[in-house]
Amino acid sequence: MRVFMKKIFNLFFLKNSIKKNTRYLEPGTYSIDNVTNLAWRKDYNTVKFVEDNLVKNTYNLKREFCFKGIVKGILSPKKIMIKDQNQDECFKGTVFFLSHSVNKDIKIFNVRKKEVLSIYSNADKLKKKILDYNYFRLYFDMPCIKFFDFNRNISIEELVISKDKKDWNQNDYEALINGLFHSYINYYKSILKKNDLEFDSVSSKINWLKSDSIFSNIGYMLETRISKELMSIEIPIFYQHGDLWLPNILVRENKEQSICLIDWEDSGEFFFFYDLFFLIGTESLHSNSDYLKKYLEGRYDTYMIKLFSTVNMEFNQSKRKIYFLFFLAEMICEKMANKTNEEKKVQLRNYTFLLTEVDKW
């Protein structure tokens, strides 16, 4: 009964959000799915975009993965009618997405013009978006922001169409990790020409974990695996993406097939290896442990040696596991510090799984 009522509430909330923002939507009949929080107009180009970029365009090496809710929605969708009235001339889209986060941001896609409208729940989010864009675009390929309006808390940016991940093979995944390592090494080199290194240690993160009622066991488990000497080692920190997993990594459909990073909302200062380990770790959580296995086997040592030397550190090959555990402690703290106990319990299994995967080596 509780699950049923939650679905009813989510559907009501999604419909209400759509109705509040109809001025940014082209008129027509829309299919809606309250599992994925998506709505799309029932025309050929829009349905094809949803199928090609949200249903079929999934990264897949050893597993079958798809947005089942979208597939079900396409086959037997709920509907809503958007009337031709009070349309906003600055943007008209045909795909609506409501964020699953607590503060419900909205994205609307204009398939024809290849643009994305973002509607932010507060002005601070938009300000951070613009600041991050002006900072990171000097070092990384990002979607171009074409327009923003602080009065309406909106921005319009380029819609990047990625090479279909369903067609990726092992070489594509290796090209990705190679490109990311080179990008971050060059980024750190550029930053260090302008600024001095800043540092942090893992000790404060372990202490937080030990004091938390949900994660205390993980905190003590990490403490037993990391020596006191390494617990206080100073680790360089840099401003990074903070949520670098495959859905936030696009490969442009151009000759260079350049790597474009999207959704920088979780950016912040982290250990210099945070983003790269985040990709490796989250892939393991999605049934692809290839990256983690190759890292622990030493097949990425050449990259790691260059990465560490860039920030004036020496990569100790015997401590591969320890470096990843540094990251794991920081990730749990960053992602869970402001969550409720119920939300923490949901993620506890994932973090325990990652620790178990590392222990296998």
Q: What is the pLDDT of residue 75?
A: 46
pLDDT digits (tens, 9 = 90+) for 291-308: 999 999 999 999 999 999
Q: What is the pLDDT of residue 163?
A: 81
150 band by pLDDT with thresholds 50, 70 and 90? very high
Alpha carbons within 13 angstroms on the beta-carbon side of residue 216 total 5
> Are 69 and 33 contacting, i.e. CB atoms less than 8 angstroms apart?
yes
Q: What is the pLDDT of residue 257?
A: 72
pLDDT digits (tens, 9 = 90+) for 16-70: 999 999 999 999 999 998 888 899 999 999 999 998 887 765 555 444 434 444 4
Model pTM above 0.75: yes
What does the angle CA 55 – CA 153 – CA 43 come to, to the nearest 5 degrees?
35
- 3-state DSSP of 303-343: HHHHHHHHCCCCCCHHHHHHHHHHHHHHHHHHHHCCCCHHH
Q: What is the pLDDT of residue 255?
A: 59
What does the angle CA 119 – CA 121 – CA 125 come to, to the nearest 5 degrees?
85
Give the residue from 215, 205, 213, 212 showing the smallest Cα distance to 347: 215
Structure tokens given for 177:
């990790």
Give the residue from 163, 170, 117, 335 showing the smallest Cα distance to 242: 335
Tell me the domain boundaries of the chain: 2-158, 169-359
Q: How far apart are CA 191 and CA 168, in angstroms?
A: 32
- Paired sense of beta strands 145-149 and 106-110, if any: unpaired
* Residue found under tokens 């002006």: 134
Of the options 2.30.29, 3.90.320, 2.60.120, 3.90.1200, the CATH number for the domain spanning 169-359: 3.90.1200
Mean pLDDT score, 328-344: 96
Question: What percentage of the chain has pLDDT greater than the value 90?
Answer: 74
Q: How far apart are CA 221 and CA 11, in angstroms?
A: 41
pLDDT digits (tens, 9 = 90+) for 73-130: 444 458 999 988 777 889 999 999 998 765 679 999 999 999 999 999 999 999 999 9
Q: How many CB atoms lie within 10 A of CB 63?
A: 10
- Paired sense of beta strands 78-82 and 235-240, if any: unpaired
